[in-house]
Amino acid sequence: MVTLRRPAGEWAIVDAGGRPFRPTIDALANTAAQLFLEARATGSTLIAEPDEQWYPHHSDRRPLPVLRVMFDDPASSWVHLDPVDGAILEMSGARQRLYRWLFAAPHWLDFAPLRQRPAWDVTILSLLAVGAFLSVSGIVLGWRRLRAASRNGR
């Protein structure tokens, strides 16, 4: 196999005869199984639509389709591969996937129903309005308390 760069800046992978190289899904899964010496691949899935672990987030564009290969190592690793050229796009373990749910999802509000822009925008603006209301009401209550304390001579 040879990787060529075309004048337009695109990359092409060709075999020894100059024909475009397209690895099969089974070949990619078997090659990915060699990434971990003491683990074996427990399954692979070709993902054509975004799911809870492989999805774009605003400016972050993730290619589709992608091949996910799961392993039985202690970290429960997953590897996402580009099915066109076999490039490793992401490696993650159970800890990274848990981090996604405990930190990223609540902070970025990237739950599945909120991934569409109007729903996400409405949710963010509503939360900002609640935060602004609580801040202003705290300032008003604090100001009233200070005024009352100054009248009473405290």
Answer whether residue 4 shows pLDDT above 70.
no
What are the sequence ranges of the domains in the chain? 22-106, 116-154
| Other C-beta atoms lying within 10 Å of the C-beta of residue 50 | 15
Query: Given 3.40.1840, 3.10.450, 3.40.50, 3.30.160, which CATH number is that of 22-106?
Result: 3.10.450
| DSSP output for 29-79 | HHHHGGG-TT--EEEEEEE-S--SSS--BTTB---SSEEEEEE-STT--EE
Model confidence pLDDT, tens digit, residues 74-129: 999 999 998 887 888 999 999 999 998 898 888 878 777 777 778 888 999 999 99
Q: pTM higher than 0.75, yes or no?
A: no
Task: Give the model confidence (pLDDT) of 23-35 as tens digits.
Answer: 788 888 888 888 8
Bridge partners of 4? 12
65 prior amide bond cis, ω within 30: yes
Token pair 């996910």 in the structure block, residue: 68
69: buried, middle or exposed (CB in 10 Å: 19+, 13-18, 0-12)?
buried
Mean pLDDT for the chain?
A: 85
